Amino acid sequence: MSTLLRILTDRVTYRRLGYLLLEVPLGTIWFSILVTLWSFLWGVFVTPLVIPAAIALAYGTRWCTAVEAGLASALLGIDAGVPAISIAGRGWRERMRGLFGPGFWRAQGYLWTRWLLGFPAGVLMLVLIGLPISLIVQPLLVAFVHGGTDVAGLHIHSVTAALALVPVGVVLLPLGIAAAYPLGGALIPLTGRLLHEGGEADTAVGAA
């Protein structure tokens, strides 16, 4: 109980909760952007449009990662960096190396991870928090919904039945919130490796 209370009163828990919940909309946005940019690049690979497509992919990746690096810094306390993009160079090979250096591929890895791992984690947190809140507010809902409501596979047909579930929601809600602490903490090492500061291809975003 003391551990649960400590977690619930720690601001770190709510920062991690915010980070996890943001994974649902942001993970979806980054996935859509990456799929669009990569598809366009491959679609014009053997045409002159490949150059602007490559630049768009590199700068799009940097922009998405800059947003994420700011969130990681503010909510996870990570010193995050984003790839420095440059189209300067004497030839096209040198310019491609400036666009697609190691930092670019780490940024790509992070954005795909944000979708593949972060999105399910965010959905899990939505369920862990949304279900208890739904149980708590059921007495207000069932009174105004003809025929009752359904929640977690249960059909609630009366205010009395809804009131009986309120204590369950009250117990589950703090447990759901507390789950953000270890779940968010588990993402810190991976996020730190992919968005770490250092290397000539990186530029710092800031510290938490």
Q: Over the stretch 122-132, which tens digit does the pLDDT of each residue have? A: 999 999 999 99
Report d(CA 35, CA 89) in Å as an integer.
Answer: 28
Question: What integer pLDDT is reported at residue 146 of this predicted model?
Answer: 67
Report which of 168, 170, 144 is spatially closest to residue 154, judged by C-alpha positions: 168
Max avg pLDDT among 86-100, 103-117, 152-166: 103-117
Report residue 89's pLDDT band, with 50, 70 and 90 as the boundaries.
low
Residue keyed to tokens 């009366």: 158
Query: Does the pLDDT at position 69 exceed 80?
Result: yes
Residue keyed to tokens 């800031």: 206
| 149 phi/psi in degrees, rounded to 5 | -130, 165
Query: Does the pLDDT at position 167 exceed 70?
Result: yes
Q: What is the mean pLDDT of residues 78-97?
A: 71
Question: What integer pLDDT is reported at residue 174 of this predicted model?
Answer: 94
Question: What integer pLDDT is reported at residue 188 of this predicted model?
Answer: 86
pLDDT > 90: percent of the chain: 32
Query: Does the pLDDT at position 94 exceed 90?
Result: no
Report which of 145, 185, 140 is spatially closest to residue 166, judged by C-alpha positions: 140
Task: Check residues 8 and 94 and name the one with the higher pLDDT.
Answer: 8
Query: Does the pLDDT at position 203 exceed 60?
Result: no
Calculated CA dihedral for residues 40, 42, 45, 48, nearest 10 degrees: 0
Question: What integer pLDDT is reported at residue 121 of this predicted model?
Answer: 92
Answer for the pair 45, 158: CB distance below 8 angstroms, yes or no. Answer: no
Query: Does the pLDDT at position 3 exceed 90?
Result: no
Task: Give every CB contact of residue 73 below 8 A, 6+ residues apart in sequence.
Answer: 79, 80, 205, 206, 207, 208
Count the neighbouring beta carbons within 10 Å of the beta carbon of residue 112: 16
Query: Does the pLDDT at position 108 exceed 60?
Result: yes
C-alpha distances in Å from residue 65, one per residue of 44, 92, 135, 177, 196: 24, 25, 37, 27, 12
